[in-house]
Amino acid sequence: MSTIESSLEAGWKLICAVEDIPVLGSRVVKSTSGDIAIFRNAEDEVFAVHDKCPHKQGPLSQGIVHGRQVTCPLHSWKIELDSGNAVAPDVGCTKSFEVKVEDGKVLLKA
Amino acid sequence: MKKQKLVMIGNGMAGCRTLEELLKLAPDLYEITVFGAEPHGNYNRILLSPVLAGEMTLPEIMLNDLDWYRDNDITLHAGKMVTKIDRTKRKVIASDGTEADYDRLLIATGSTPFIPPIPGADLPGVLAYRDIGDTEAMIEASTKYKHAVVIGAGLLGLEAANGLMLRGMSVTVVHLADWIMERQLDKPAADMLQASLEAKGMNFLLSKQTEGLIRGEGGRVSAVRFKDGMEIPADLVVVAAGIRPNYALAESAGIYCGTGRVRGIHVSDTLQTVTDPRVYAVGECVAHRGIAYGLVAPLFEQGKVAANHLANFGIGRYEGSVTSTKLKVTGIDVFSAGDFSGGADTEDIVLHDKQGGVYKRIVIKNNRIVGSVLYGDTADGSWYFQLMKDQQDIHSIRDHLMFGQNHLGDAGHKGENKAAAMADTAEVCGCNGVCKGTIVKAIKEKGLFSLDEVKKHTKAASSCGSCTGLVEQILASTVGGAYQAVSAHDKPVCGCTELSHGAVRKAIRDHKLLTIPDTMETLSWKTPNGCSTCRPALNYYLISTWPHEAKDDPQSRFINERAHANIQKDGTYSVVPQMLGGVTTPAELKRIAEVAEKYHVPTVKVTGGQRIDLLGIKKEDLPNVWKDLGMPSGHAYGKSIRTVKTCVGAEHCRFGTQRSMAMGIDLEKMLFGMWSPHKVKLAVSGCPRNCAEAGIKDVGVIGVDSGWELYVAGNGGIKTEVAQFLCKVETREEVMEYSGAFLQLYREEGYYLERTVHYVERVGLEYVKKHVLEDADKRKALFERLLFALQDAKDPWAERYAADAAPAVRREFEMLEI
């Protein structure tokens, strides 16, 4: 059994290929628990957070990605992509999801 | 790797700011040891006056408490005075025998109060005013004694006197010179200040030389005697006769501290001592290019440069500071900057309203401000200071210079220009609902010194920016002289770089940089891929400097320019199709109506730019909406050409002199697809009645019987700015060429997010005229470069709904499912 198959068995869900996400960009996954934003940064790290800014629910997926952060398009809050925490001095947190890359495929636990 | 050892002598504001800057740049480079003579962490010395006045408490003015040193692994020897520097063995020795080795040494020993050699200066009850200890001693004396005498009516002396008075003492200020604060104020301003302090109950004795301090029965000082024989009672004497750089320790270690008039630790532009490059010095103990500064703002600038060199970056030189002064006495506004002594080659602009309590004097030399003194209304102090620092030619604004910049914004605070007098509950930032009290509290509690810090912590002035001036004033009146407006010319683009917009633009041109990664590498960006502030700016600079060569980077664009629609608060988008000159057809209107019905568009609205806006469209529907509309993008979302508004004009109007609709359509077609530093709006009116409101557009065109008048740099937004007359031309072709040349000049030189009004304010209308009017070759070249940049501009909507659109283009609008 390939690693992907065992991951799928363990409850991970196949989302897309890493190349389907633009570098320093994002894609939105529709899920039963709301929209989830999947980000890819310049180091090809992949992150997943609930697509709502803790400030005024702006769609984080539409923001500019830099380092391991995204800037919300509505009022420029900066959110840490790995934890979902707002960067100080702003305070707030959006839910983050487990995500990993195997064989060039993005897998999400949500 | 073993860390190098950095030892700092002196635990004050300049030194600690240097360490903070250093830790930001190179957190792990040094093992840091700090010696401080005072038994505290670092506190905000400037705010001792509000503490004395009972307006603040000591804990409120701490900048770095003991936890800060611990958290940053800094060894702090508080209360230990260093008595020896051994430069051969590279170590320092404190009075209690504590030693510390160094690889690099930072001296920040500050200054000591100057006590004139008068008999009795050593009596109990005679104090200087420098630190927490002095302040506490004064507060204690005020509870036991009645008569206080302050010697010296400078900034510090008056603040001390004010504090003691508020604590219930009867205070007399003695001064040697003919008027108070003679180093900062001219006589008229000083007289007004004196009168208002007298009205509060302060007494003054001017042109008085102190002969001696008299010892009373208990051994404590009891009176002050003057040369003329006069004697006044005094239970407390505060000597505020100036400060001297504290260089004794450095000098004893053989470090050059000057001779004669300018004494202090002599440092180069890198803040290294001229004697020993391992030894750095910052702050009031330093003499740089013959000047020892006694205000805090220059010290911060020095700290920044010193930190950069300590961090081995080696960028940046300290080239001296221009300073300004503000008195921190609640309810009194005084501002002074530069040289106001006057002279044969200077001119004065003076406004003096004695009864109204307002005095303003601006000193001008060669069309540049060299000094200013403001009393009563200091609202424009920071503006004058900025103009002075930037050495801006004020020739063209001279006639309204005195009336201020008015950059307090038209929205919300009409005429409100006395930050100090505003109530704490008064709203300052209308966008984010931030009150004055909130801002003041954040400044004090978080120890903020810059506009950027205030923006970050309070959100005030962080949206539309119209309250920036007011926030700056509040900052200035709260932190006093510590506030220094950053000159727009050298303000870094963002935290990712030290370089200004101008420097970045120039580098992109000089080195022919074509991509964002190359630019960041060449210019040593501090972050791996910038941030949401610098990336859009870089992207614009690249594509505007090297059209058709630099490749546009969608990921560095704000979402509106990436999705080619305007994001709304609920995450949906608005769609505005192009409607050239505001002219449409029944067929277009029908299609718009059909699309609105088909996609259940919740709101259909006519825009301010004579177009139709479909609001509330889901992102995934955008390509289909565009396709069904079959109209090109109106670019209503971009830092780009927006629209050309027109009146009916000579086509129909009985007053019309020119065909304004046709002119507007031609201009809008010509400028299609034009990206610019900020949005660009045009208008064309067919007669001077100007129904298209061309007077508040980036480029306004007004038809007259004999031709067209061109106006530039107007603005109808945040702050209404009337466009300035550029020239009059005769033909349609000239309208296109002149307005195109102006816009290209702005495109090539404007800073990202700088509207034409601010660009022209920065460079001056004369400069624009020189390039666009006076030099026909330059104008034609500019115009050609614009047309070159715009050739083959494609409709971004059609590119995205096309059947053969690349997957990378399409996926922007496609959702994933699980």
Per-residue pLDDT tens digits for B21-67 = 999 889 999 999 999 999 888 998 888 988 998 888 888 888 888 99
| Mean local confidence (pLDDT), A70-94 | 94
Report which DSSP code applies to B750: P
**CA separation, residue B289 to residues B265, B267, B293, B314, B690 (Å):** 11, 8, 11, 20, 57
Across the interface, whether the CB atoms of B555 and A22 are under 8 A apart is answered yes
| Mean local confidence (pLDDT), B336-354 | 88
Across the interface, whether the CB atoms of B532 and A22 are under 8 A apart is answered no
Burial of B592 (0-12, 13-18, 19+ CB in 10 A): buried
Q: φ and ψ at B616, to 5 degrees?
A: 95, 35
| pLDDT (tens digit per residue) in B757-779 | 999 988 989 999 999 999 999 99
Q: Is B111 on the interface with A (CB under 8 A)?
A: no
> What gap in Å lies between CA B116 and CA B803, rounded to an integer?
87
Which residues are registered as beta bridge partners of B218?
Answer: none
Decide which of 2.102.10.10, 2.120.10.30, 3.30.70.141, 2.60.40.10 is the CATH code for A3-109.
Answer: 2.102.10.10
Across the interface, whether the CB atoms of B559 and A63 are under 8 A apart is answered yes
Nearest CA in chain B to A109: B818
How far does the CA of residue B12 sit from the closest CA of chain A (Å)? 25
Size of interface A-B (CB pairs under 8 A): 84
For residues B391 and B372, the answer to whether their CB atoms sit within 8 Å is no
pTM for this prediction:
0.76
| pLDDT (tens digit per residue) in B111-138 | 999 999 999 999 999 999 999 999 999 9
Across the interface, whether the CB atoms of B558 and A59 are under 8 A apart is answered no
For residues B714 and B725, the answer to whether their CB atoms sit within 8 Å is no
* pLDDT bucket at B413, cuts 50 / 70 / 90: very low
Least confident residue range of B257-271, B293-307, B605-619, B688-702: B293-307
Q: CB-CB: which of A15, A43, A73 is closest to B558?
A: A73
Across the interface, whether the CB atoms of A31 and B818 are under 8 A apart is answered yes
Which residues of chain A lie closer than 8 angstroms to B563, CB-CB?
62
How far does the CA of residue B571 sit from the closest CA of chain A (Å)? 6
> What gap in Å lies between CA B723 and CA B761, rounded to an integer?
11
Q: A38 pLDDT exceeds 60? A: yes
Q: B394 pLDDT exceeds 80? A: yes
Q: B419 pLDDT exceeds 80? A: no
Instruction: List CB contacts of B791: < 8 A, sequence separation 6 or more.
Output: none
How far does the CA of residue B337 sit from the closest CA of chain A (Å)? 33
| Mean local confidence (pLDDT), B431-440 | 88
> What gap in Å lies between CA A95 and CA B807, rounded to an integer?
30
Q: CB-CB: which of B463, B532, B571 is closest to A64?
A: B532
Per-residue model confidence (pLDDT) at position B489: 66
Per-residue model confidence (pLDDT) at position B459: 85
Which residues of chain A lie closer than 8 angstroms to B457, CB-CB?
89
Domains and CATH numbers, chain B: 4-111+245-310 (3.50.50.60), 126-241 (3.50.50.60), 501-557 (no CATH), 638-794 (3.30.413.10)
> What gap in Å lies between CA B304 and CA B498, rounded to an integer?
11
Which residues of chain B lie closer than 8 angstroms to A33, CB-CB?
none
Q: Is A93 on the interface with B (CB under 8 A)?
A: no
The DSSP bridge pattern shows strands B147-151 and B243-245 to be: unpaired
Q: Is B811 on the interface with A (CB under 8 A)?
A: yes
Nearest CA in chain A to B527: A67
Q: State both tokens at B762.
A: 């920065």
Q: B452 pLDDT exceeds 90? A: no
Q: B411 pLDDT exceeds 60? A: no
Beta strands in B566-679 (DSSP E): 566-567, 573-575, 603-606, 612-617, 641-646
Q: How many alpha carbons fall within 13 Å on the CB side of residue B58?
A: 11
The full set of domain ranges for chain A reads 3-109
* pLDDT bucket at B429, cuts 50 / 70 / 90: confident
* pLDDT bucket at B718, cuts 50 / 70 / 90: confident
| pLDDT (tens digit per residue) in B147-171 | 999 999 998 899 999 999 999 999 9
Beta strands in B394-513 (DSSP E): 427-429, 434-435
* pLDDT bucket at B416, cuts 50 / 70 / 90: very low
| pLDDT (tens digit per residue) in B522-579 | 999 999 999 999 999 999 999 999 999 999 999 999 999 999 999 999 999 999 999 9
The DSSP bridge pattern shows strands A78-80 and B82-86 to be: unpaired
Mean pLDDT of chain B: 91
- The helix or strand, by DSSP H or E, that contains position B523, with its residue range, turns out to be none
Across the interface, whether the CB atoms of A30 and B817 are under 8 A apart is answered yes
Across the interface, whether the CB atoms of A42 and B528 are under 8 A apart is answered yes
Per-residue model confidence (pLDDT) at position B488: 60
- The helix or strand, by DSSP H or E, that contains position B584, with its residue range, turns out to be none
> Where do we find the tokens 């003015």?
B61
For residues B190 and B179, the answer to whether their CB atoms sit within 8 Å is yes
